[in-house]
Amino acid sequence: MPWSGKFFKPRQGPVVNLDGKEYVLRRVIYEVRTRKKLAQSESVRPSCGEANCIHPQHLTKEPRNTPLIGRARLPSTREKLARAQQAKAPYSMEEVQALRGRCIRGELTRVAAAKCLGVSVETMERMVNGLAWRDFSNPYQSLTA
């Protein structure tokens, strides 16, 4: 049952954008079906092998690949470090997420968004891909790494 939407990520599959926030559809569907929260360390994959499948019965939980988590630091440690760094920045998470959403929707170029924040295009690229300024309050945010 492949998703007919427009946005996909290579690892997480179909994603949807709501109010500038990005949600990995399979995580949402899995949690609704099982009524259980997924841990950061767990990922959801379709058992049927269809890359963009979202059939609730095909979604199975498995541990996220260890290289994805990062070797030395636990997710909670990374979150603390990220929050400390973000508290010092001259812009807010809301601003970053708003620009991220506009870049994902193609309303704004990375170069223009980088100028808004006064950061490099590389940094903006990392923000858009969820590698920097990850929104830890949103468990469905996707990562393109």
The site for Zn ion (CB under 5 A) is made up of 46, 48, 50, 53, 55, 58
Considering the complex, state which of residue 55 and residue 61 has its C-beta at the smaller distance from Zn ion: 55
Distance in angstroms (rounded) separating the CA atoms of residues 70 and 67: 6
E-strand ranges in 19-82 read: 21-24, 42-46, 59-63
E-strand ranges in 19-89 read: 21-24, 42-46, 59-63
Considering the complex, state which of residue 49 and residue 67 has its C-beta at the smaller distance from Zn ion: 49
Considering the complex, state which of residue 48 and residue 82 has its C-beta at the smaller distance from Zn ion: 48
Minimum distance from residue 47 beta carbon to Zn ion (Å): 7
Considering the complex, state which of residue 55 and residue 110 has its C-beta at the smaller distance from Zn ion: 55
Sign of the torsion formed by the C-alpha atoms of 115, 118, 121 and 126: negative
Question: DSSP state, 109?
Answer: -
Minimum distance from residue 51 beta carbon to Zn ion (Å): 10
